[in-house]
Chain A
Amino acid sequence: MSNPPGKSVLGLVASSVVHAAGHDPESLWRAAVEGRTGLRRNDLDWCSLDGWLGRVPGVEDAALAPEFAQWDCRNHRLAWLALRDADFAQAVAAAVTRHGAPRVGLLLGTSTSGIRATEQAYARRRDDGRWPTDFSWRHQHSADSIARFAAAVLGVQGPMSVLTTACSSSAKVFLTAQRWIDAGLVDAAVVGGADSLCLSTLHGFDALQLLSDDVCRPFDAGRRGISIGEAAGFVLLAREPAAVSLAGGGESSDAYHMSAPHPEGRGARDAMRAALDAAGLEPRDIGYVNAHGTATPANDRAEAAALASVFGAHGVPVSSNKGITGHTLGACGVVDAIVTAKALENELLPPSAMVREVDASLPVDVLREARPARGIRHAMSNNFGFGGSNCTLVFRRTG
Chain B
Amino acid sequence: MAPLRFGLHAIGLLAPGFDDLSELRGAIRAGVPPTDDVPTPLPAPAGLPANERRRASQAVRLVLACAERALADSPFAAAELRTVCATDEGAGEVSLRMLETLATDRQVSPLVFPNSVYNAPSGNLSIAHGNREAANVVSFGFESFASGLLCAVVDASADHRPVMLVSYDPAMPEPLAELQPVSRSTGCAWILAADGVPTENPPMARFELSLVDPAQAPASPLPGWLAPWWAGHSSASAFAALGLLEAPAGSRFSMSLGGRTLVLDRLGDGA
Contact = CB atoms under 8 A, between A and B. Distances in A.
B127 A388 contact: yes
B89 A142 contact: yes
B141 A179 contact: no
A254 B134 CA distance: 10
Interface stretch (B13-21, B28-36, B96-104): B96-104
A385 B119 contact: yes
A184 B1 contact: yes
Interface stretch (B69-77, B174-182, B263-271): B174-182
B213 interface: yes
B122 interface: yes
Interface string B100-135: 111100111110011111111011101101111111
Contact of A165 (B108, B124, B136, B211): B136
A161 B147 contact: yes
Contacts of A144: 139-141, 143-144
Interface string A367-387: 000000000000000000111
B132 A255 contact: yes
A137 to B, nearest CB: 4
Interface stretch (B183-191, B195-203, B218-226, B252-260): B252-260
Contacts of A165: 118-119, 122, 135-137
B157 interface: yes
Contacts, number: 201
B103 A164 contact: no
A151 interface: yes
Contact of B120 (A172, A204, A387): A387
Contacts of B260: 102, 157-159
B122 A256 contact: no
Contact of A253 (B100, B106, B126, B155): B126
A54 B136 CA distance: 27
Interface string A215-258: 00000000000000000000000000000000000011111111
A56 to B, nearest CB: 21
Max chain A C-beta neighbours (<10 A), residue from B52, B89, B137: B137
Interface residues of A, number: 65
A50 to B, nearest CB: 13
Contact of A166 (B4, B117, B143): B117
B127 A257 contact: yes
Given A258-B123, A389-B123, A143 B1 contact: no
A137 B259 contact: no
Contacts of A158: 258-260
B138 interface: yes
A176 interface: yes
Given A119-B102, A253-B131, A259-B114, A160 B258 contact: yes
B154 interface: yes
Contacts of A86: none
Contact of B2 (A102, A125, A176, A183): A183
B262 interface: yes
A203 B151 CA distance: 33
Contacts of B89: 142
Nearest to B113: A204
Contact of A255 (B127, B139, B147, B213): B127
Interface string B225-262: 00000000000000000000000000000000111101
Contacts of A199: 102, 106
Given A138-B141, A388-B127, A164 B258 contact: no
Max chain B C-beta neighbours (<10 A), residue from A160, A204, A206: A204
Contact of B257 (A143, A159, A200, A385): A159
B103 A126 contact: yes
Contacts of B107: 207
A387 B138 contact: no
Nearest to A127: B103
B208 to A, nearest CB: 13
B150 interface: yes
B90 interface: yes
B155 A252 contact: no
Given A144-B139, A207-B110, A388-B126, A161 B150 contact: yes
A156 interface: yes
Nearest to A120: B103
Contact of B140 (A105, A118, A161): A161
A122 interface: yes
A143 B132 contact: no
Contact of A151 (B103, B114, B135, B259): B259
Contact of A389 (B4, B135, B175): B135
A311 interface: no
Max chain B C-beta neighbours (<10 A), residue from A161, A180, A256, A389: A161
Max chain A C-beta neighbours (<10 A), residue from B116, B131, B262: B116
Given A165-B135, A207-B110, A387 B102 contact: no
B38 interface: no
Given A159-B150, A255-B132, A164 B139 contact: yes
B88 interface: yes
A255 B129 contact: yes
Interface in A162-202: 162-166, 172, 176, 179-180, 182-185, 199-200
A114 interface: no
Max chain B C-beta neighbours (<10 A), residue from A159, A199, A267: A159
Contacts of A172: 136
Contacts of A251: 134-136
Interface of B: 1-2, 4, 52, 88-90, 98-103, 106-110, 113-120, 122-124, 126-127, 129-141, 143-144, 147, 150-151, 154-155, 157-158, 175, 178-180, 211, 213, 257-260, 262
15 contacts: A144-B144, A151-B258, A160-B140, A160-B147, A161-B147, A166-B118, A183-B154, A206-B108, A253-B123, A253-B126, A255-B130, A255-B131, A258-B120, A258-B124, A258-B127
